[in-house]
Amino acid sequence: MKPTQMDRLDFVSSIVLTIFGIAILVESLRMPRLENLKVNQFTVPGIVPGVLGLLLAVCGFAILVRSVKRGGWRLGITGQDTAAWVTSAPVQRSAATLGLTLLYALVLFPHVPFNFSTPLFVFAFVVTAEAMALGRWPKWQAMVTGLILAVLAGLIIGYVFQQLFFVRLPGG
Amino acid sequence: MDGFNSFLGALSAMVTSWAIIDVVWATLLGIVVGMLPGLTATLGVALMTTLTFKMGTDQAILILVCMYVGAIYGGSRSAILLNIPGTPANAATSLDGYPLARAGKAGSAMAIATTGSMFGGLVGMVALAFIAPVLAEFALSFGAYEFFWLAVFGVLVAGQLTSLDDPIKGWIAGFLGLFVAMIGREGIHGVPRFSYGSTDLAGGIGLLPAMVGAFGFAEILTVMRQEAYSVVHSRVDSIWGGIRESYKYKMTALRSGLIGTFMGLIPGVGEDMGSWASYAAARQASKNKDEFGKGSVEGLLAAETGNNAAVPGALIPVLTLGVPGSAPAAVLLAAMVIHGIRPGPLIMIESPDFVFSVVAMVFLATIAMGVLGLLLTRPLIMVLRVARERLMPIIFVLCTVGAFAIASRTFDVWIMVFFGIFGFVLRELKYPMAPLILGIVLGDILDKSLRRGLVLSDGDFGAFFVRPISMVLWVSALGFILLTMPSVRKMFTRLFNRDQADKQS
């Protein structure tokens, strides 16, 4: 039987999951037992995480066995396939979305004033996403609409949270 | 009768001009959120929680309930007009709604969906008013053993029903959620777990930032990965024919309302299964089975009645057990806690009026949904013409600011980002999100109940199995697991077939 894409993904993810479950189990066993405080042995902090680690490892191993039976271990990755995957439109759209959102959430939002960072992010996102959808730069009318949307979004969201809800946004 | 009087009292206290304005805008916003593919009811309620946390309790919860009811209904619009369910709860709606729209009956289809949703909401509301006080009183007899099994039952059943093709993935999602709840200082001895010296991690993972990430950011990544949906140019016929047609299938609507409410009651299962189970039952009972999937009025009515009936149904365990019946209900539970309400068995003792206030809120939201849905059939189609390229960055800004605003911590933004990427990967690997969230909510209950139960029984695990309610819960959980095993299912089928053969001979 020819393995499906999901069988291959299950093979890789179940290895990660099994190792993760074992790591939780080991960490739970290393948790303090509080013998010096003479606490009841059944209330030690590691009991529930330990059981969860064991369950995750067992379930992960079950998926691993299933994916091996279905031939998921034959990953069949070739350079050509990888290149085609990387250059495919969905992957490029995902990568651009991920890059821009991470840049905003982890760099711009905490460090740059909100009224500047937010319009910048919204405008960059709109232009990039429309350019990827069209396969060329958007027309100037679309760019202007994007800019107006970006400025308005920054002003309205900033006003609602800062002036109405008294939230002090980071970024100075 | 006492319940009905309490409901009328709560309703008359609530109906002020400001409350009506809140009901109208929040329900309308909910419908818009539900309509837009990529924006779910969970995300809508989570974002709205961050926007209402400085308001008074009743006003904030009213807005959230309206958002919840509106969003579950709004998803039917895109399911009918685009064949893309606006929320996962509307997947069954598209099976018959879209063929009806293609046949030039988009107006009728939307009217059938509105009538069904309204009826379902009212059936669920009556159940909420009658069952919640009784269940809360019954739950007063719950101890550590019962709460432990309730948490186990919730995670296992939610895992199984939200991942019918591959239940093991549903259970793994639930266990991962329970693990996330273990991070931070535990509640009995105050020992930090999995925090590695970080004071932020020692404080635990906040449910709201995690949900905004798992249902907001992950959804943005999913939507942007897919091809853009095409703009609709659908012909819309009269809505009145649809209302008349719905009336013909009143028994289907009633059955779907009851099934939807029951599915809502089961922890973590919620509107999606409410819709599918009602649809399946309607098909089973229908004289015109062949029409299902090709534009059946009965099918569309059942699906939409079922998902909206599940909304009040999902609120029953929230109020009486502190256990959410669905993912949006989990956010509502968190919002109630933020506003100083303690959902759980003591609710009828501590704040009995609140339960009937929620019933009144569901009633107002359902009426507003029906009226707005019917009046704004054509204008609401305009919402579907908003390009995702322009909508998604604004949603992401709201996710980021919303996650930050709850506790003014940048750490919560990181949590939102982490759960967004983690949720996206899990979705791509076909792991359901609802058990993950249910696990995060139930983790603390499970942890404390197991350890307290073991102390009470002096380490005898047998004590967990013998009390009557515990027994019902563990036997049901075990039954659910066994039924997923092909060999057990085959054995049951063979036994059933043999019985029938014996009867026939």
Convert the pLDDT of each residue in B177-210 to its tens digit. Answer: 999 999 999 888 889 999 998 999 999 998 889 9
Candidates A6, A12, A20, A43, partner chain B, best to mutate (most B CBs within 10 A): A43
Contacts of A63 in chain B (CB under 8 A): 168-169, 172
**Window B:22-81, CB contacts with A under 8 Å:** 51, 53-54
**Confidence label for A1 from pLDDT (cuts 50, 70 and 90):** low
Give the dihedral sign, CA B194/B196/B202/B206.
negative
Q: Which of B217, B321, B181, B345 is nearest to B265 (CA)?
A: B321
Averaged over A139-153, what is the pLDDT? 93
Is B54 in contact with A165 (Cβ distance < 8 A)?
yes
User: CA Rg, chain A, in Å?
Assistant: 25
Contact status of B201 with chain A (Cβ, < 8 Å)? no
Give the model's pLDDT for residue B502: 66
Which residues from B are below 8 Å from A167, CB to CB?
A: 401, 404-405, 408
**Banded pLDDT at B498 (limits 50, 70, 90):** low
Taken as a whole, chain B contains a residue count of: 505
Q: Which residues of A touch B440 (CB under 8 A)?
A: none
Check B455 against A42: CB less than 8 A apart.
Answer: yes
Helix, coil or strand: residue B129: helix
Q: What is the pLDDT of residue B230?
A: 62
Exposed, middle or buried: residue B128 (CB in 10 Å: 0-12, 13-18, 19+)?
Answer: buried
Cα separation, B451 vs B94, in Å, equals: 46
Chain A residues within an 8 Å CB radius of B405? 161, 165, 167
Nearest CA to B394 out of A81, A148, A79 is that of: A148
Q: A-contacting residues of B 377-406, CB under 8 Å? A: 387-390, 392-394, 396-398, 400-401, 404-405
The proportion of chain B whose per-residue pLDDT surpasses 90, expressed as a percent, equals 41
- Give, for B184, the enclosing helix (H) or strand (E): strand B184-185
What's the mean per-residue pLDDT of chain B?
Answer: 87
Among the partner residues B53, B393, B430, nearest to A125 by beta-carbon distance: B393
- Element of type H or E holding B116: helix B106-139
The pLDDT value recorded for residue B52 is 86
Q: d(Cα B282, Cα B295) in Å, to the nearest integer? A: 14
The mean per-residue pLDDT over the stretch B349-362 comes to 90
Cα–Cα dist B246/B112, whole Å: 6
* Band (B338; pLDDT cuts 50, 70, 90): confident
Please report which confidence band the pLDDT of residue B437 belongs to, taking 50, 70 and 90 as the band edges. Answer: confident
The letter for the amino acid at B265 is: L
Tell me the nearest-neighbour CA distance from B88 into chain A, angstroms.
21
Q: How many CB atoms lie within 10 A of CB B10?
A: 22
Q: How near does any CA of chain A get to the CA of B105, in Å?
A: 32
pLDDT exceeds 70 at position B505: no
Tell which residue, B299, B303, B297, B262, has the closest CA to residue B283. Answer: B299
Please give the residue of chain B at the shortest CA–CA distance from A5.
B429
Candidates B221, B417, B447; nearest CB to A48: B447
Joined together, the tokens standing for residue B385 give 């013409």
DSSP letters, B277-293, are HHHHHHHHH-S-GGGTT
Question: B53 to chain A: nearest residue by CA?
Answer: A165
Closest-CA distance of chain B to residue A79, Å:
22
Q: Which residue has the higher pLDDT, A18 or B219?
A: A18
Strand, coil or helix: B193: strand
- Chain A residue with Cα closest to B399: A105
Let me know: does B63 contact B365? Beta carbons within 8 Å: no
Higher per-residue confidence, A4 vs A99 = A99
State the angle between helix axes of B17-35 and B41-52 in degrees (0 to 180), rounded to the nearest 10: 140
Report residue B201: phi and psi, to 5°.
-65, -35
User: How far does the CA of residue B231 sit from the closest CA of chain A (Å)?
Assistant: 14
Rg of chain B over Cα atoms, rounded to whole angstroms, equals: 22
The pLDDT of residue A165 is 76
Q: Does position B231 have pLDDT exceeding 60, yes or no?
A: no
Q: Which residues from chain A sit within 8 angstroms of residue B446, using beta carbons?
A: 48
**Yes or no, beta carbons of B405 and A165 under 8 Å apart:** yes
Identify whether the C-beta of residue A34 lies closer than 8 Å to the C-beta of residue A44: yes
For chain B, the structural domain boundaries read: 2-466
Question: What is the number of H-type helices and E-type strands within chain B?
Answer: 25, 2
Length of chain A in terms of residues written: 172
A101 CA: distance to closest CA in chain B (Å): 7
* Chain A neighbors of B416, CB-CB under 8 A: 105
- Taking contacts as CB-CB distances below 8 angstroms, the residues of chain A near B398 are 157
Question: What number is the average pLDDT over the span B230-251?
Answer: 75
Q: Which of B469, B22, B14, B217 is nearest to A106 (CA)?
A: B217
